């Protein structure tokens, strides 16, 4: 794995947000084929104007905004991630989505990028991260970077995985 020039950056302008939505569409198409944990997957919802408006509202709110990062290497977009840190909930960071394009998987980019993100959210004040894997491959990845399955479930009946941040 060559991680030279691998970077993450915040989606700030409309061009960045447009790039995100292009990657997000690929992600949702793929996810709809492989989701195996939780309730039924509503593909239409993720393509709806309603969903996009919710994401934009979360991204631009003053308190606990959604953080939207793009992942690139040498000018090529490899993926994205989005999370919210709830400082009013004990520093919980909820990693909503994390996506690496299929051709860049199993090369170490996902793990390396995740380690950068973890350091970033810790520096911002998060105390722990929660997420909900959607299939067995996701679960293996998240366990490999230190997440533990809790007994808690989200509204879609997916188990919540947690990792304490003590970097």
Residue 14 belongs to a domain with what CATH number? Answer: 3.40.630.30
Taking the CA atoms of 9, 115, 20 and 94 in sequence, report the sign of the dihedral they define: negative
pLDDT recorded at residue 75: 87
How many whole angstroms separate alpha carbon 24 and alpha carbon 102?
A: 13
Residue 21 forms part of a structural domain? yes
User: How many domains, in total, are found in the chain?
Assistant: 1
pTM for the full model? Answer: 0.86
Is pLDDT of 72 > 90?
yes
Rounded mean pLDDT, 62-72: 94
Residue 12 forms part of a structural domain? yes
How many whole angstroms separate alpha carbon 84 and alpha carbon 121?
A: 9
Q: Which domain holds residue 82?
A: 6-164
Residue 1 forms part of a structural domain? no
Tell me the pLDDT tens digit for each residue of 23-46: 999 988 887 776 665 556 677 888
Q: Which is higher by pLDDT, 166 or 55?
A: 55
How many whole angstroms separate alpha carbon 97 and alpha carbon 112?
A: 16
């Amino acid at each position: 794995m060559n991680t030279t020039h691998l970077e993450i950056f915040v989606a700030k302008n409309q061009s960045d947000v447009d790039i995100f939505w292009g990657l997000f569409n690929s992600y949702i198409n793929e996810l709809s084929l492989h989701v195996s944990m939780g309730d039924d997957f509503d593909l239409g919802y993720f393509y709806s104007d309603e969903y996009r408006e919710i994401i934009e509202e979360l991204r631009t709110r003053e308190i606990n905004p959604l953080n939207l990062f793009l992942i690139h290497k040498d000018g090529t977009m490899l993926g994205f991630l989005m999370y919210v840190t709830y400082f009013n909930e004990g520093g919980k960071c909820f990693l909503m989505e994390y996506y690496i394009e299929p051709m860049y998987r199993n090369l170490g980019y996902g793990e390396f990028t995740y380690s950068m993100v973890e350091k970033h959210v810790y520096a911002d004040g998060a105390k722990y991260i929660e997420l909900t894997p959607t299939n067995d491959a996701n679960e293996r990845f998240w366990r490999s970077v230190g997440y533990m399955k809790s007994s808690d479930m989200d509204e879609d009946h997916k188990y919540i995985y947690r990792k304490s941040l003590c970097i």
